[in-house]
């Protein structure tokens, strides 16, 4: 049984609506007058990564699996996001809805819920629609951006590292939602670490290192501060510094000084040195130190709003031993796309066929992300699955209760190679 946590309907200070809230409400009312029921169509691809897939998808090369199911929403995308990590690829695109809404709420839900249009051993393609949030505003010039490194150059991703990444994403999203009360613009993992290391206020003191690996086990994030005061930036930085220092993570913050170019980074915390052989043996005895061989791609889609990522990750953490080996979160057309690659304890690549057969019964979920996560955990965790009686929904119904969840298929992970690659920004 899943229990619901209560929360005050007004903000933490109970001071009512601010001037910005009223302005956002006016903007939303104007958008609704122009188009009473706005919708955004989307297409999402979960696939095993291969050269040329993005080119074929984005430029519309004919796909027999998709041509068999024509749809008026299948048009060139306006905004798109692509990501590839651990041998798993993601492509998503959005465009203005061309569908006429049904007059009843139940028919609208059935009409716009995502459907599975291609189901293969190494790929699933989904198509659907969702309602955007016209009040989701942010100023890119006020972004608080940082990079946290869990392991600068992993030879493989261990399961205990995936748990560390999950907890790190939860902490970053908590800072955005609870401390800054601001939108989390993007999350990206893995990420390339900076090459600069500023020592003082003078940029001439910068030390340049060779380009880092593009697939470092790190999380890059951006928070759109609505009230970017010095105190708020200091509070966020101090909380992150303590969090990273206690765990031995590296921390870099983007240079936000007026008049300085983007791409400059200040190193706040040095990553911990590699553990000794004895420490590695002791650590391996207490945690699952085997490499992650398979992952489950899951994408949550819904109106962009503050706290949605935090609500999903905090619920995920309560289920049990589920880690995150990659994430690609962004807002397109006022919709939030939260893509995660989930790892499960003890799953091996040799069991992919059996695992996908267990997940074949349900691949799309409407308005219930908690059930989607619980379903995947129950199917994949097996005898290690815990009972759900202690799990709290918390803010999940409020922040992401109307989100759609697209699940699967289970895919094998590719180990990072030794070839030096550069990221494209």
Give the residue among 84, 66, 73, 46 at the shortest CA–CA distance from 130: 73
Query: Which residue segments constitute the domains of the chain, with CATH numbers given?
Result: 35-131+294-300+321-387+397-412 (no CATH), 140-285 (3.30.70)
Sign of the alpha-carbon torsion through 194, 199, 203, 208: negative
Angle of the 159-174 helix axis to the 308-319 helix axis, nearest 10:
140
pLDDT of residue 7: 40
pLDDT of residue 98: 57
Q: How many CB atoms lie within 10 A of CB 258?
A: 5
CB-based contact 200:231 (threshold 8 Å): no
pLDDT of residue 141: 57
pTM: predicted TM-score of the whole model, two decimal places: 0.79
Please give the chain's pLDDT, 425 residues, in tens: 444 444 434 344 444 556 666 666 666 565 555 554 578 888 899 988 888 777 777 665 556 555 555 554 555 667 788 888 888 888 888 876 655 444 444 444 555 688 888 888 889 999 888 888 877 766 655 789 999 999 876 677 888 889 999 999 999 999 999 998 888 888 998 888 887 555 445 544 555 555 555 667 899 999 988 777 889 999 999 999 999 999 889 999 988 776 666 778 888 888 776 555 555 555 555 556 688 888 999 999 988 889 899 999 999 888 878 899 999 998 887 888 999 999 988 888 888 888 888 887 788 888 778 888 888 888 887 655 555 555 677 778 888 888 999 998 989 888 655 445 444 44
Alpha-carbon distance 159 to 286, whole Å?
12
């Amino acid at each position: 049984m899943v229990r619901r946590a209560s929360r005050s309907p007004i903000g933490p200070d109970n001071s009512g609506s601010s001037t910005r809230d009223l302005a956002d409400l006016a903007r939303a009312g104007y958008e609704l007058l122009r188009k009473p029921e706005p919708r955004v169509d989307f297409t999402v691809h979960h696939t095993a990564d291969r050269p040329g897939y993005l080119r074929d998808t984005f430029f519309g090369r004919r796909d027999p699996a998709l041509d068999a199911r024509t749809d008026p929403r299948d048009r060139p995308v306006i905004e798109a996001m692509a990501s590839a990590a651990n041998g798993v690829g993601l492509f998503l695109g959005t465009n203005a809805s061309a569908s006429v809404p049904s007059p009843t709420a139940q028919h609208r839900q059935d009409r716009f819920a995502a459907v599975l249009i291609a189901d293969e051993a190494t790929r699933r393609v989904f198509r659907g629609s969702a309602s955007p949030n016209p009040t989701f505003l942010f100023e890119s010039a006020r972004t608080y951006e940082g990079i946290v490194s869990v392991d600068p150059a992993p030879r493989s991703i261990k399961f205990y590292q995936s748990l560390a990444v999950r907890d790190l994403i939860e902490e970053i999203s908590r800072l955005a939602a609870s401390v800054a009360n601001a939108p989390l613009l993007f999350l990206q993992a893995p990420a390339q670490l900076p090459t600069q290391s500023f020592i003082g206020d003078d940029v001439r003191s910068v030390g340049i290192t060779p380009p880092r690996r593009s697939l470092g086990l790190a999380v890059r994030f951006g928070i759109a501060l609505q009230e970017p005061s010095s105190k708020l930036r200091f509070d966020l930085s101090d909380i992150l510094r303590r969090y990273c220092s206690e765990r031995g993570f590296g921390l870099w913050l983007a240079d936000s000084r007026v008049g300085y170019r983007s791409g400059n980074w200040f190193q706040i915390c040095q990553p911990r040195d590699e553990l000794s052989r004895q420490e590695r043996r002791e650590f391996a005895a207490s945690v699952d130190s085997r490499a992650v061989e398979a992952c489950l791609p899951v994408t949550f889609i819904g109106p962009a709003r503050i706290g949605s990522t935090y609500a999903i990750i905090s619920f995920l953490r309560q289920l049990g031993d589920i880690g995150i080996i990659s994430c690609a979160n962004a807002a397109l057309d006022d919709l939030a796309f939260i893509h995660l690659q989930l790892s499960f304890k003890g799953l091996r690549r040799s069991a992919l066929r059996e695992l996908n057969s267990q997940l074949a019964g349900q691949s799309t979920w409407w308005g219930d992300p908690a059930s989607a996560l619980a379903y995947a955990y129950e199917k994949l965790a097996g005898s290690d699955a815990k009972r759900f009686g202690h799990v709290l929904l918390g803010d999940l119904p409020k922040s992401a209760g109307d989100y759609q969840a697209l699940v699967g298929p289970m895919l094998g992970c590719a180990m990072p190679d030794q070839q030096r690659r550069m990221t494209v920004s």
